[in-house]
Amino acid sequence: MRWRLAGLAAVVVVCALAQLSVGATGASPGALFGADEHARMVVLELRAPRVLVGLCAGACLGIAGVVLQAAIRNQLASPEITGVGSGAVLGAVAASVAGVAQPLPMAVAALVGGVLGGGVLWVLVGGSGDVAVRGVVVSAVLVGTTLVLLTARPQLAGAVSRWLLGSLAGRTWEHLAPLWPVAVVVLVAAVLLGGVLDVLAVDDDHAHGVGLAVVPWRSGVLLLAAVATSAAVAAVGATAFVGLLAPHLARRFVGVAHRAAVPASALTGAGAVAAADAVGQVVRVPAGAITALFGAVVLVVVARRTGGIG
Amino acid sequence: MTPLRAERVHVRFGEHEVLKGVDLAVREGEWLSLLGRNGSGKTTLLRVLAGLLTPSSGRVLLDGGPLDRVPRRAVARRIALLPQSTPYVRGLTVRQFVRQGRYAARGPLGMLGEVDDPRVREALRDTGVEQWADTPLERLSGGQRQRVRLALALAQDAPVLLLDEPTTYLDIRHQYEVLNLVRDLQRERGLTVVSVLHDLAQAARYSDRVVALLDGVVHVDGAPSEVVDAVLLREVYDVAGSVLWITTNGVLKMVVVPD
């Protein structure tokens, strides 16, 4: 198991190095140690924060996805269809419309939106795990509200579309500052909750039967997913499919026990965002567009090869 | 000593009242079987006793105190339930699943390590599923999975065992293996067992006491040899027939002969 996690980590490092190597100028990661001051600054000040923000955001989305899929026992659960992702986008966009530009207040606004979005859904489903249809409805209402907000301030549409699509362009050390502590905390918390997630993933009666108080624990882990999603969305926007795809790929590498599936999903999410941004910079489209395109295709291929998603 | 007691328990699903004032005291160390037609409320009563379902009125006492005030982990250390069926997570191995039975004893953080738990090993061995310990649940047959579910309930190491149709999906050999195992555990560890059994012969052979539900209340309550008769067949199951009691190899057995 440790070797498999180490293998995944190695893949993430390769993806990150690829991302660090691409950009408008020809600077390579080796420039960090070279004499060319300009190339060193490009790598250190432009590319390195972009890579690290992408890794942390991808890890957060991967953790949110694996936690959500266990907590609501739906293999198609992801930040996008649980109201959390679209709530976070709405929070970030509302903050933009209100004139907020700093990363930290933006992250707080996204967190409030994500928790409210997830909370609305939670109230609608009354504590049960039946979220699929209601989640789509809640997300549609939140995305609709976001678009109405954009109509009110059309001049922001260009900047705000980043949150709707997901992009790493222009990410700086300032964006990394509020993100990395959240990524570390949610990773540690989700790994520590691995045993709870294992039990929740089976069935409510089963969980009650073995002694787990379902509603408080599920509420807690959903809040954790909301925090992870909101932090990622505030930094890079709603990077589609990462939260859905990462847990499925991770479980294929390390199995379904969450003690291993959580870090594996974090690594897979981080690697996916890094790879998507590397490719996206080459073909000049945002990382979110790449994850949306390739995520859907990879998911279908995985499902067809194995006779199902899971 | 009464580990579990239901007092005037009513359960209503919408307009339909399934249980209409059930009073039942489960005695320590006995095997009590609930009998009754399909839909008579046996499973509902079992779920109420397990604390999975809150009665519309009335209450359940665990060791003399209200069950609904006992934290879930403490309940699970006292009561283990084998439900009729449990969904399974694809890829989850038998050992990983059975290990979840230790949640109440170990707590959320105690579930993290790959600590070798003797209770899990014992439960796997006792239920004969040791050879599939590292097999994913989806590769097992329905009967094998039923034994794995029993292993989970045993791993909880609770003194009260609630079994909802434990022989479902099992062939006749495994039916008797499972029932013999539960009887041995009941005797060796002094377990209290409450089961829902559809097979009257099995209920009569293994139970110390049977309770038949009819129209939402306890209709018959007593030792099998005293209360399982033609009258019970007719009143509870609406079946005309005879009940024959025979002794083979020193064991009293019962046969139902419909008219």
B128 by DSSP, 3-state: which? coil
Longest dimension (CA), chain A: 65
Chain A: residue whose CA lies nearest to B149:
A206
| B155/B185 Cα distance (integer angstroms) | 12
Distance between CA atoms of residues B79 and B187, nearest Å = 17
Quote the mean pLDDT of chain A.
86
Please name the residue of chain A whose CA is at the shortest distance from the CA of residue B158.
A210
The residue type found at A180 is W
Using CB atoms, which residue from B83, B111, B152 is nearest to A195? B111
Question: How many angstroms separate the CA atoms of A119 and A107, rounded?
Answer: 18
Mutate to test the interface with B, among A72, A210, A215, A259 (most CBs of B within 10 A): A210
Tokens coding B207: 């139970």
**Per-residue pLDDT tens over the stretch B124-155:** 998 989 999 999 999 998 888 888 999 999 99
The per-residue pLDDT for range B145-184, each reduced to its tens digit, is: 888 999 999 999 999 999 999 988 788 888 988 899 899 9
Return d(Cα B14, Cα B102) in angstroms, integer.
36
Pick A25 or B94 by higher pLDDT.
B94
Residue % of chain B over a pLDDT of 70: 98
DSSP B27: P
Give the Cα separation of A209 and B223 in Å (integer): 29
* Fold of the domain spanning A2-306: ABC transporter involved in vitamin B12 uptake, BtuC (1.10.3470)
Distance from CA of A241 to the nearest CA of B (A): 21
SS3 for B247? Answer: strand
How far away is chain B from the Cα of A79, in angstroms, using its nearest Cα? 21
Q: How far apart are CA A267 and CA A259, in angstroms?
A: 13
Helix (H, G, I), strand (E, B) or coil at A176: helix
Region of A30 on the Ramachandran plot (φ > 0 left; ψ -120 to 50 alpha; else beta): alpha
pLDDT digits (tens, 9 = 90+) for B98-124: 999 999 998 888 777 666 789 999 999
Q: Kindly indicate whether the ipTM for this predicted assembly is greater than 0.95, answering yes or no.
A: no
Find all residues with CB under 8 Å of A97, minimum gap 6, and list them. A149, A150, A152, A153, A156, A160
Return all residues near A143 (Cβ < 8 A) that are at least 6 apart: A86, A89, A90
Q: Residue A250 pLDDT > 80, yes or no?
A: yes
CATH code of the region B4-258: 3.40.50.300
A209 vs B52: CB contact, 8 Å cut-off? yes
B198 residue type, one letter: H
Packed helices A258-283 and A48-71: angle between N→C axes, nearest 10 degrees: 140
Which of A107-116, A183-192, A271-280, B209-218 is least confident? A107-116
Spell out which residues of chain B touch residue A257, defining contact as CB-CB under 8 Å. 92, 96
Split at pLDDT 50, 70, 90, the class of A136 is confident
